[in-house]
Structure 1
Amino acid sequence: MIRTVVVDNEALVRSGFRLILDAADDIEVVATATGGQALAVVREQRPDVVLLDIRMPDVDGLTVLRELHALPAPKRPVVAMLTTFDTDEYVLSALDAGAAGFLLKDTEPAQLAQAVRMLAAGGVVMSPKATRSLLSRHPGTGRADQATARVEGLSERERDVLVLVAEGLSNSEIGGRLHLSGGTVKDHVSAILAKLRVGGRVQAALLAQRAGLLAER
């Protein structure tokens, strides 16, 4: 079972997400919490995945994310941010701070459960369309030409892998798509992160978006 915690200050959102996710055979919402309760609940329940509202009145999502990211590795869950708007400027800050992606609160139930599975498997959850819109409105310091220059240092196979990373696929899913072993995909991902000089899959995915690798998808 994929142990999941939902953090949101609105009781209706918490109960709705619990109802949707508990309907999946392989997902269990072990707790829900407000922003102020989140750290204590996660420490107690030790979930695999946390879905965290990015905007909360008591303790904001970015603060909670930093607290969760500071937990020791065995107790640190994968965190994806929840937002109402696909152009929420705080999303980029959350991704830079270690979030594994973001979800819109009106995500379809089947897609929500699949997103939790992807997160638990080490994938990235970001809508390419929403991320392109987000980057166009809030480009930050990562300019398209800089991203393109860094991506040009990758081999053709590494670019293929990077595109699938940016689409949210886990290593095993990438291996199945490209007919590669899991170990080979892992090696490619490690090489990609080193060549792009980024700390994780989310940052690599953002670079792929900025460089236009997903423009036609």
Structure 2
Amino acid sequence: MIVDDEELLRSGVSQILGVAPDLRVVAACHGGEAVEAARVRQPDVVLLDVRMPDVNGLSVLRELRALPRPPQVAMLTTFDTDEYLGEALRLGAAGFLLKDTSPADLISAVRALGTGSGCLSVPMTRRLRAPATANPAGPELATLSPREQQVLALLADGLSNAEIALRLHVSTGTVKDHVSALLTKLHVDNRVQAAVLATRAAVPATPAPAR
């Protein structure tokens, strides 16, 4: 589902996603209609604008995440400030995409969101990696096993479970188990929150063991 106050953008994004045979846009609406549309259409993924004249996108995000069957929500916006990023992630957003994201990257992001993975646009990742945003690792990071720290570092690089599995020469199921464990230990709700924490704490990747 696409939520934006601009009809032209809704139409454009719908056309882009419509090219992918495995994706279907079930609704495209402005912010005031979003929560009811989500209740009726039950989308797996919502692309949600942050700033809309009729409603605050962050308020819509809060309501969407409170639904009995909450969708994976990525904020789609022209504003790449830390304020919006931090608040959106705190409220349970699974991703943060800028409106100049390429069509191919947008399709890939929606696919990742549909599988429960998160997504951050490249400019947002670079912003997080700026020296000013790096902080010492918190006590939660110290509770991770060496393998969990390795998986976390690869999450911060934007890799999917399948890509991490290939990198570490383990099964995708094993990676899922590590991700689940590290989310619990870090007290975060999703992969993107974990990746942001890792990037800001400058978690180093450890070398993969030999096969």
Is residue 127 from structure 1 mapped to residue 140 from structure 2 by the alignment?
A: no
Instruction: Give the conservation status (yes or no) of the 8 Å contact 2:98–2:121.
Output: no
**Unmatched runs of 5 consecutive residues or more in structure 1:** none
Structure 2: which amino acid aligns with 1:144?
N
How far does residue 90 in structure 1 lie from its aligned partner after superposition? Answer: 1.4
2:6 pairs with one of 3, 10, 35: 10
Instruction: Report what 1:189 is aligned to.
Output: 179
Three-state SS of the structure 1 residue aligned to 2:85 is helix
Aligned to 1:84: 78
Aligned residues: 205
- Map of 1:26-105 to 2, 5 A cutoff? 26-72=22-68, 75-87=69-81, 89-105=83-99
8 Å contact from structure 1 (residues 86, 134) kept in 2: no
Letter in 1 for 2:35: L
TM-score, normalised via structure 1 length? 0.84
Q: After the TM superposition, which segments of 4 or more aligned residues of structure 1 sit over 6 Å from their partners?
A: none
* Percent identity of equivalent pairs: 58
Match of 1:144 among 130, 135, 149: 135
* Structure 2 counterpart of 1:157, from 143, 147, 151: 147
Structure 2 CA distance, aligned partners of 1:100 and 1:199?
Answer: 9
SS of equivalent residue, structure 1 residue 29? coil
Q: 1:197 to 1:31 in 2, by over 3 A?
A: closer
Distance 1:188 1:214 in 2: 17
- Give me the whole-angstrom Cα distance separating, in 1, the residues matched to 2:2 and 2:146: 39
Superimposed CA distance per residue, residues 84-112 of structure 1 (whole angstroms, 9 cap, x where no aligned partner): 03235212101111000110101001111
Q: Which runs of 5+ in 2 are unaligned?
A: 206-211
Partner of 1:19: 15
* Pair 1:111 & 2:105 matched: yes
SS in 2 for 1:21: helix
TM-score (norm 2): 0.87
Query: 1:197 deviation in Å?
Result: 2.9
Q: Residue by residue, what CA displacement relative to the aligned partner does 1:15-57 show, whole Å, maximum 9, x if unpaired?
A: 1101111011111111101000101111111111100001111
How many Å separate the matches in 2 of 1:40 and 1:158?
39
| 1:50 alignment partner, SS class | strand
Partners of 1:135 and 1:53 in 2: CA distance: 24
Tell me, in whole angstroms, the C-alpha distance in 1 between the residues paired with 2:152 and 2:84: 24
**Residue-by-residue CA offset, 1:83-140 (whole Å, 9 max, x unaligned):** 103235212101111000110101001111011001111111013652452586996x
Alpha-carbon distance in structure 1 between the residues aligned to 2:145 and 2:21: 40
The DSSP-based 3-state class of the residue aligned with 1:193 is helix
Q: How much is the aligned-residue C-alpha RMSD, in angstroms?
A: 2.4
Note if contact 1:127-1:167 (Cα within 8 Å) is conserved in structure 2.
no
| Cα deviation digits, residues 140-172 of structure 1 (max 9, x gap) | xxx712x35543432332122112222344433
Q: Distance in 1 between matches of 2:49 and 2:132?
A: 20
